[in-house]
């Protein structure tokens, strides 16, 4: 069977809340990271960065960034939502934060640099899934939070968080989700 039949036509994300956060082998993490940075990139500008967040750093960011920022943005939040926010990142074994870090260029448009960072996200996701890991591309509210952006080394008003690629282990195979009808989204001229 080809990689298309075997993988692309079956690939499916696993929800972060359904993942197990047991450790991931360093060897596999390196494989995933190397696949992530091998993407189309006009002019080889590398206009993106990956920040690897694992072990106690997940907890640190939950406690030092996510929970306080959530409280600031939602002063009347319920006990239940604070409980969720206090463990956001700890759903994963490892999180790969992908930053879009565009550079000034006389010819290559900013838009193409942003697209390339999306390609990094997709390669990380696909590679992790091809190795059998549970993985999901999430932004949630904290991808749009400046404190988070700066904590990850991003420049306010220039860089953006393209996504958090959650990596973990599957408890069960995910159900299929609704997929587009090809005739609604593909046109032949």
Ligand X SMILES: Cc1cc2nc3c(=O)[nH]c(=O)nc-3n(C[C@H](O)[C@H](O)[C@H](O)COP(=O)(O)O)c2cc1C
Q: Put residue 30 in one of left, alpha, beta given phi > 0 → left and psi -120 to 50 → alpha.
A: alpha
Residues 56, 60, 61: CA angle, nearest 5 degrees: 120
CB 133 to ligand X: min, Å: 12
Residues 124-153, mask of contacts with ligand X (x by CB under 6 A): ------------xxxxx-------------
| Residue whose entry in the numeric block shows the structure tokens 């700890």 | 90
13 touches ligand X (CB under 6 A):
yes
CB 177 to ligand X: min, Å: 6
168 touches ligand X (CB under 6 A):
no
Torsion of CA 28, 166, 142, 54, to 10 degrees: -40
Residue number, 40 or 43, with CB nearest to ligand X: 40
Residue number, 21 or 162, with CB nearest to ligand X: 162
Binder among 79, 107, 177, 178 for ligand X (CB under 6 A): 177
Decide: helix, strand or coil at residue 49: strand
Residues with Cβ within 8 Å of 138's Cβ and at least 6 positions away in sequence, in order, are 16, 163, 164, 166
87 touches ligand X (CB under 6 A):
no
Pull the structure tokens for residue 67. Answer: 């929970």
CB 107 to ligand X: min, Å: 27
CB 17 to ligand X: min, Å: 9
* Residues binding ligand X: number (CB under 6 A): 9
Edge-to-edge strand ranges of the sheet holding 48-54: 48-54, 94-100, 160-168, 134-138
123 touches ligand X (CB under 6 A):
no
42 touches ligand X (CB under 6 A):
no
Q: Which residue has the CB atom at the shortest distance from ligand X? A: 13
* Contact criterion met (CB below 8 Å) for 100 and 160: yes
CB 166 to ligand X: min, Å: 9
Q: Which of 150, 130, 132, 1 is nearest to 61 (CA)?
A: 150
Q: Residues interacting with ligand X, by CB under 6 A?
A: 12-13, 136-140, 163, 177
């Amino acid at each position: 069977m080809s990689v298309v039949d075997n993988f692309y036509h079956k690939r499916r994300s696993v929800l972060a809340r359904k993942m197990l956060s047991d450790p991931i082998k360093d060897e596999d993490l390196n494989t995933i990271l190397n696949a992530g940075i091998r993407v189309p990139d006009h002019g080889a500008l590398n206009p993106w960065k990956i920040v690897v967040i694992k072990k106690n750093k997940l907890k640190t960011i939950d406690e030092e960034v996510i929970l306080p920022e959530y409280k600031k943005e939602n002063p009347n939040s319920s006990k239940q939502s604070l409980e969720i926010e206090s463990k956001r990142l700890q759903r994963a074994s490892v999180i790969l934060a992908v930053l879009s870090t565009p550079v000034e260029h006389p010819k290559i448009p900013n838009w193409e640099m942003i697209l390339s960072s999306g390609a990094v996200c997709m390669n990380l996701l696909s590679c992790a899934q091809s190795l059998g890991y549970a993985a999901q591309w999430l932004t949630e509210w904290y991808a749009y939070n400046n404190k988070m952006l700066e904590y990850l080394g991003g420049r306010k008003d220039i860089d953006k968080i393209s996504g958090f690629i959650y990596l973990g282990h599957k408890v069960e195979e995910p159900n299929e989700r609704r997929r587009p009808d090809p005739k609604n989204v593909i046109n032949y001229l």
